[in-house]
Amino acid sequence: MPTISDRLRWTVVGATLATCFLSTLACPSPITPRNVVLISIDTLRADHLGCYGYDRQTTPHLDSLAARGVRFERAFTVASWTLPAHMSLMTSRYPHGHGVERQDQSLAKDVTVLAELLKAEGVRTGGVISWFFVSARYGFDRGFEEFFELLPEKEDLSAYRKAEDVIDTAIDWLGGRGAERRPFFLFVHLFDPDLITNFSFFLNIVEAVIFIDGCQHRSQRTSWLNNRVLDF
């Protein structure tokens, strides 16, 4: 299983691009703002990508993108799980700064997020997500003109919406621009790697403990996983 240091996030690359985009909006020179698509692939391990040296042909499209663009060799998350890490991505604050570190917390109204800043500058903003930890209940919809939540009917790990559904919705949003020529910011969150397993016993065990808060949750899950090696 990946350690915290293993969980290098592609979202850091997207956040850097979004920051550069925002800086062009504030620049007095006549620079045309670029469109930004920020794609977060939850729990994707860098050492399982070809562009980072993995020997299996698992990610040809990402490898091609990395070869033509900028690839960060040292990019680390500020938290070990989805909710606080993505809130840090959107607010540029550490978890203790934005205050969303547990499932019973949501973003305070006085904390500004990236999409709000871009929208205020006239940028068209859209988001497409497929899991609860990046949903409106925690404040992730703030600043988005359109925010599509492709959520399962219940918090059931086996009922999540797959990447194909998320990507199709994102492409439809992009195609819906029509004649509009405003620059856009699109956030897309994919959850598949977190659940890419066909082991029914794995799903059953994780379902039983993943939504239990506190130390009991972590100790139970960690103890069970330490006895198994899962490599995809």
Contacts of 180 (CB under 8 A, 6+ apart): 124
**pLDDT tens digits, one per residue of 121-174:** 999 999 999 989 999 999 999 999 999 999 987 666 667 788 899 999 999 999
Return d(Cα 93, Cα 78) in angstroms, integer: 9
Identify the pLDDT of residue 27.
53
Both tokens of residue 110?
A: 């006085």
| CATH architecture type of domain 11-196 | 3-Layer(aba) Sandwich (3.40)
d(Cα 121, Cα 230) in Å, to the nearest integer?
45
- Euclidean distance between CA atoms 136 and 133, whole angstroms: 9
- Paired with 17 in beta bridges are none
- Alpha carbon distances (Å) from 28 to 17, 20, 25, 32, 146: 19, 14, 8, 11, 29
From the list 142, 134, 146, 86, the residue with the least C-alpha distance to 113 is: 142
Residue intervals of the chain classified under CATH 3.40.720.10 are 11-196
Per-residue pLDDT in tens (0 to 9) along the chain, 232 residues: 444 433 434 344 444 444 445 544 555 555 667 899 999 998 888 888 999 999 998 899 999 999 999 999 888 889 989 999 999 999 999 999 999 999 999 999 999 999 999 999 999 999 999 989 999 999 999 999 999 999 987 666 667 788 899 999 999 999 987 777 889 999 999 988 877 643 444 444 444 444 433 444 333 444 434 444 333 3
pTM: 0.72
Q: Which pLDDT score is estimated for 77?
A: 87
- Tokens 């599509």 locate to 148
